[in-house]
Amino acid sequence: MTHEAFVRGTVTVSVPATSANLGPGYDTLGLALDLRDELTGEVLAAGDTTGTPHLEVVVEGEGADGVPLDESHLVVRAMRTAFEQMGLAQPSLRLHCRNVLPHSRGLGSSSAAIVGGLALARALVLDGTARIDDTDLFALAAKLEGHPDNVAPATFGGFTVSGAEAGNFFAVPAPVVQGTSVVVFVPPDPVSTEVARGLLPREVPHADAAANAARAALLVVALGQRPDLLPAATRDYLHQDYRASAMPDSAALVRGLRADGVAAVISGAGPTVLAFVGDGEHSDEIDPVAVDSAGALLDRCPAGWAAHHLAVDLQGVVVR
């Protein structure tokens, strides 16, 4: 395929942080948050004399000292998948990643890399959106990630319900009460998703499964129309207690916040803690009541941790 198939010049995409599970919605519910990584790419004219595509990767911000700068970089792997899906050989590339999302903290950094890489490759192809629409992009992302709960809100924005049926991934948007926001408490040390998943039992009591199903259903209603129900709706029976040993400080913070009536959960596989803000007063922006509540929560950030007050992001991945 010739260089004429590709956009000339640079293209930048932006992709939001995401929080999965939200308590009881294990591997199903996800929320996009207004904290974004940016990826800028450019297709170069040619590879080396052997025909091997040239690759330049620059990373700044989170993970800059630890991620690979070659073909094994997750964004590059996602881009390669997208080019293959569009019937194109991988071209020579220049990639610049501006990372804000902390790695291995439960805020969807790997999903952001995958969704961002797929979207960037699509945007670098002149008819990319005709070759891969958003539904296809989501399905590719879910296949690469292995589960859809983070890649769904990263792709579509907002609050999503996702899963798989007969081997096919699905994602359905769900409403969020206007003005909903969160405070996230990010600890300094990571916990890998593999470690967190490894702590889960193969079976749980039937009563716990039934209670969890009720809370997950209630959470969809609470986020859509009844935020006063969020403290009850975010009660989890399937994963957080089992994972507490891997993130004892996070578990203690969740317990303390919930004891005070705050709808607090472990974000994704942790160890970040997410707390919903506000008391049902809503406006086009984060309202003064919510800001006051967020201020009180931010004051509870443990020493050495970072805390952010974030709106729900309704856009998902976008081309800048």
Tokens for 242? 């089992």
> Which among 293, 314, 243, 232 is positioned nearest to 272, based on CA atoms?
243
Q: What is the DSSP letter of 32?
A: E
Whole-angstrom distance, CA of residue 242 vs CA of residue 201? 8
The pair of three-digit structure tokens given for residue 7, joined into one six-digit string: 């956009």
CA-wise closest residue to 22 among 228, 218, 249:
218
SS3 304: coil
Task: Let me know: does 18 contact 138? Beta carbons within 8 Å.
Answer: no
Distance CA 158, CA 313 (A): 6
Phi, psi (degrees; rounded to nearest 5) at 202: -70, -30
Find how far residue 270's CA is from the centre of its chain.
Answer: 12
Could you tell me which residues are annotated as the binding site? 102-112
Which of 149, 193, 188, 192 is CA-nearest to residue 171? Answer: 149
Here the tokens at position 118 are 């797929």
Q: Where are the alpha helices (DSSP H) in 245-287?
A: 248-259
CA distance 88 to 80: 9
- Using CA atoms in the order 195, 197, 203, 205, what is the torsion angle rounded to 10 degrees? 100
Residues annotated in the binding site for ATP, as ranges? 102-112
Quick check: helix, strand or coil at residue 13?
A: strand
Where do runs of H (alpha helix) occur along 4-73?
none
Q: Which two tokens stand for residue 6?
A: 């590709």
Helix (H, G, I), strand (E, B) or coil at 161: strand
